[in-house]
């Protein structure tokens, strides 16, 4: 066993350990969430196939967040640079947890009020952005397709820009989380991409480890969230994953690359924005339902087909991301 471990890279070991830890926690938390009646609600105007999901345990993001936190803290003993990445992930996850708790326990449909939710996210995002700025990792961001050494220096604008990246990423992943295995699977592919890219420089060692940890957590969670889902991540998980990919891209000076590899996130968010804007202007809808994954469902696609197509698109976008570097 020791021989095998010594032959494995550190990030692979952390990936495996986080995956196993998540697999162990699933059977612990799913019955607990069921017993506490922390069940999912379903939109009345949504696809009819989703009605059977009513009552499925939510707030399942804790299944991978606990392993992510423990593995990050363990590695943080050796390299504290990983801790800010974990801070954003857990901080956003905590905001999501409070939001979910209010929804399922207090029976308030929308959870936290919008201002309360944004305040919580902003506190975490601004704290991280100031830390990164004054830590001195650089205020440059890599420009896609011009080479990894071609950057633009944002100066002091780096702070509001990174806050925008974090808030946009976390809300986009939140919007994407609507089908069994969709958000977790897409995020898994993206974090694996960043893990591979991070191997290019020793300066990104902590990012490589953290990306591996998040990847392991996502894969472990998929064991319970893939169709038919036994548990949903809720805002607890989706806000955390958005914070994770946003923080990873910032730590590597690659937020513009995230726009490419996270194209599914972008399209999902734009579909909601366009649907709402067009409806307010004309009283009509562009899509049968937003986000766009529900449009495909109402157009006759099976849920599993939508998810698989979105996976394939994300893999293609990640390949494009390598060329962009």
Q: Which residues are annotated as a binding site for Mg(2+)?
A: 174, 235
Q: Which two tokens stand for residue 155?
A: 């100066």
CB contact at 8 A, 30 and 58: no
Q: Residue 158: phi, psi to the nearest 5?
A: -60, -35
> What's the Cα-to-Cα distance from 120 to each of 56, 101, 114, rounded to whole Å?
27, 15, 10
Task: From residue 259, give the alpha-carbon distance in Å to each of 190, 262, 281.
Answer: 11, 5, 28
Q: Which residues pair with 151 in a beta bridge?
A: 142
The encoded tokens of residue 75 equal 């590695």
Binding-site residues = 174, 235
Phi, psi dihedrals of residue 224, rounded to the nearest 5°? -115, -15
Residue 93: name the closest of 124, 114, 52 by CA. Answer: 124
Token reading at 88: 């954003």
Nearest to 120 by CA among 14, 240, 27: 240
């Amino acid at each position: 066993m020791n021989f095998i471990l010594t032959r494995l890279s550190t990030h692979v070991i952390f990936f495996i350990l986080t995956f196993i830890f998540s697999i162990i926690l699933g059977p612990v938390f799913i019955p607990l969430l069921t017993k506490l009646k922390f069940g999912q609600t379903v939109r009345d105007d949504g696809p009819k196939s989703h009605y059977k999901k009513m009552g499925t345990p939510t707030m399942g993001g804790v299944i991978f967040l606990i392993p992510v936190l423990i593995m990050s803290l363990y590695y943080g003993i050796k390299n504290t640079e990983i801790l800010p990445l974990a801070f954003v992930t857990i901080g956003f996850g905590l905001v999501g947890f409070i939001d979910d708790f209010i929804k399922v326990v207090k029976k308030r449909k929308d959870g936290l009020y919008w201002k309360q939710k944004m305040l919580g996210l902003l506190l975490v995002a601004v704290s991280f952005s100031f830390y990164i700025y004054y830590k001195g990792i650089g205020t440059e961001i890599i420009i896609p397709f011009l080479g990894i050494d071609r950057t633009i220096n944002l100066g002091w604008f780096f702070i509001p820009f990174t806050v925008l990246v974090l808030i946009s990423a976390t809300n986009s992943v939140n919007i994407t989380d609507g089908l069994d295995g969709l958000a977790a699977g897409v995020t898994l592919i993206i974090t694996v991409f960043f893990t591979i890219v991070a191997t290019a420089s020793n300066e990104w060692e902590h990012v490589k480890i953290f990306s591996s940890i998040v990847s392991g957590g996502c894969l472990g969670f998929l064991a319970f969230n893939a169709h038919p889902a036994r548990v949903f991540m809720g805002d607890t998980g989706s806000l955390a994953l958005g914070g994770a990919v946003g923080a990873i891209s910032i730590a590597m000076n690659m937020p513009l690359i995230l726009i490419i590899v996270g194209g599914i996130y972008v399209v999902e968010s734009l579909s909601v924005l366009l649907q709402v804007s067009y409806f307010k202007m004309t009283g009509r809808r562009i899509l049968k339902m937003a986000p766009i994954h529900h449009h495909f469902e109402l157009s006759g696609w099976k849920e599993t087909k939508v998810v698989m197509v979105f996976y394939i698109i994300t893999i293609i976008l990640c390949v494009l991301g390598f060329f962009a570097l």
